[in-house]
């Protein structure tokens, strides 16, 4: 039986956690753009130091979204029935994903080099759209959406397993699988297994939320130490990857992200009345920010390069990356608000907000 909280209590801090999650996702791309534009990845450059820290802190931040989706399913969505659940995913996830894929296939980043129109006939465009829908190839962050759709399709089976006492060993196996099955940065069976583990962990937490929140609060220092140790290991050994078929790096990221999530949830829950309003606003537009921010960052970085702004020194990259982070979020929200005013509730079907 779900041990949830009333909507007014739990939604506020979990809503803020969504804002934290999308800020992390935008951050890795904002500073990553600065490194690739002005410093490359030569470890002798200041840019490379930024790259290492950026990766160690923000890589795999999409895990936060899988986790919170699992929590919210158990706390809120499960009681609404499967028809409402899948209808919501079709309208709020699949529909804007299709629209954004159509748009960015037609006009978007080409070979990571320039922004332009699709070059080819209608048949080529249709074939490319179909391929991009399957792989998330219309924009480099879109790969997460096909994986998330698989998680949604697997939700009824996962929910059933969580209700079966004899299947607890299988649930534990699913949650622990990402320790040895390493995610990739594209659609793959390994990535599905990895995010299935995060999503299932979220469902377990959501099913016993009061107990989980109490444990997070009591042992927050354990989570903080685990997150710190994993981050230090990643800072110094980011190049250490495969040991056999296991990516030690991705294993560390899995533990790190779950530990950080526990700390942030406790922190946000304890300070619900003092959470900044901007975090709530960012959370409200998280999905549209996810869709739009890479395109905006690409335009900004290309304009920056043409104007000769920015540099490869440490301070320059840090400041420019922060400016790009804020600009990408603000401009994404501004475009989303314009879409809402023009289209009303239908804007969610097109842009995710």
SS (H, E, C) 264-292: HHHHHHHCHHHCCHHHHHHHHCHHHHHHH
Distance CA(202)–CA(55), nearest Å, equals 24
- Please give the Cα distance from 271 to 72 (Å, whole number): 20
Q: In terms of C-beta distances under 8 Å and separation of at least 24 residues, what long-range contacts does 128-134 make, across chains too?
A: 129/101, 129/102, 129/105, 132/101, 132/105, 133/97, 133/98, 133/101, 134/187
* Dihedral of the alpha carbons of 115, 341, 10, 258, in degrees to the nearest 10: 0
Residue whose tokens read 């990766």? 55
Residue with tokens 């606003």: 281
**Strand, coil or helix: 246:** strand
Domain hosting 112: range is 7-351
Burial (Cβ within 10 Å: 0-12, 13-18, ≥19) of residue 86: middle
Q: What is the pLDDT of residue 114?
A: 67
**Residue 1 located in a structural domain:** no
DSSP 8-state secondary structure symbol assigned to residue 181: S
Phi and psi of 99, rounded to 5°?
Answer: -65, -45
Please write the tens of the pLDDT for every residue from 67-106: 999 999 999 888 888 999 999 999 999 999 999 999 999 9
Let me know if residue 254 belongs to a domain.
yes
- Per-residue pLDDT, 38: 64
Picking from 195, 165, 164, the residue whose alpha carbon sits closest to that of residue 178 is 195
Please identify every stretch of the chain with a pLDDT value under 50, giving residue numbers as ranges.
Answer: 1-9, 43-44
Helices (H), the chain: 7-38, 46-58, 62-75, 82-89, 95-106, 122-135, 144-162, 168-176, 189-207, 209-218, 220-236, 248-270, 277-284, 286-307, 314-343, 347-351
Residue at 257 is within a domain? yes
pTM of the predicted protein model: 0.90
Kindly state whether residue 2 falls inside one of the protein's structural domains: no
Condensed to tens digits (0 to 9), the pLDDT of residues 160-215 reads 999 988 888 999 999 999 999 888 877 889 999 999 999 999 999 999 999 999 99
What is the tally of structural domains in the chain? 1
88, 44, 43: which is closest to 69 by C-alpha? 88
> Which pLDDT does position 27 carry in this prediction?
96
Q: Are 154 and 123 in contact (CB under 8 A)?
A: no
Identify whether 64 is part of a domain.
yes
The verdict on residue 45 lying in a domain is yes
Per the document, the length of the chain is 353
Residue 113 has a pLDDT of: 61
193 three-state secondary structure: helix
Q: Considering the domain boundaries, does residue 151 fall inside one?
A: yes
């Amino acid at each position: 039986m779900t041990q949830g909280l009333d909507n007014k209590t739990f939604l506020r801090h979990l809503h803020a956690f969504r804002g934290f999650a999308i800020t992390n996702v935008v951050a890795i791309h904002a500073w990553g753009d600065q490194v690739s534009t002005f410093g490359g990845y030569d470890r002798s450059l200041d840019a490379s130091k930024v790259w290492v820290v950026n990766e160690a802190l923000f890589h795999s931040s999409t895990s936060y979204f899988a986790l919170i989706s699992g929590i919210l399913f158990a706390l809120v969505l499960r009681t609404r029935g499967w028809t409402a659940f899948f209808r919501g995913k079709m309208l709020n996830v699949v529909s804007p994903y299709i629209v954004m894929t159509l748009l960015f296939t037609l006009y978007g980043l080409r070979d990571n080099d320039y922004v332009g129109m699709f070059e080819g006939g209608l048949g080529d465009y249709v074939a490319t759209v179909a391929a991009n829908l399957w792989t998330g190839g219309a924009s480099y962050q879109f790969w997460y959406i096909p994986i998330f759709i698989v998680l949604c399709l697997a939700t009824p089976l996962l929910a059933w397993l969580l209700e079966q006492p004899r299947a607890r060993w299988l649930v534990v196996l699913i949650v622990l699988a990402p320790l040895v099955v390493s995610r990739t940065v594209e659609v793959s069976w390994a990535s599905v297994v990895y995010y299935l583990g995060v999503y299932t962990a979220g469902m377990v937490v959501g099913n016993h939320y009061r107990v989980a929140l109490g444990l997070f609060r009591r042992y927050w220092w354990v989570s903080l130490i685990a997150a710190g140790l994993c981050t230090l290991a990643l800072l110094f050994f980011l190049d250490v990857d495969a040991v056999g078929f296991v990516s030690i790096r991705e294993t560390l990221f899995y533990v790190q992200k779950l530990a950080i999530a526990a700390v942030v949830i406790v922190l946000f829950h304890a300070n619900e009345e003092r959470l900044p309003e901007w975090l709530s606003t960012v959370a409200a537009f998280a999905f549209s920010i996810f869709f739009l921010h890479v395109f905006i960052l690409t335009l900004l970085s290309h304009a920056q390069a043409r104007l000769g702004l920015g540099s490869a020194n440490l301070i320059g990259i840090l400041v420019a990356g922060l400016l790009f982070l804020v600009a990408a979020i603000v401009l994404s929200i501004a475009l989303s608000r314009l879409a809402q005013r023009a289209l009303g509730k239908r804007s969610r079907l097109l842009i995710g907000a």
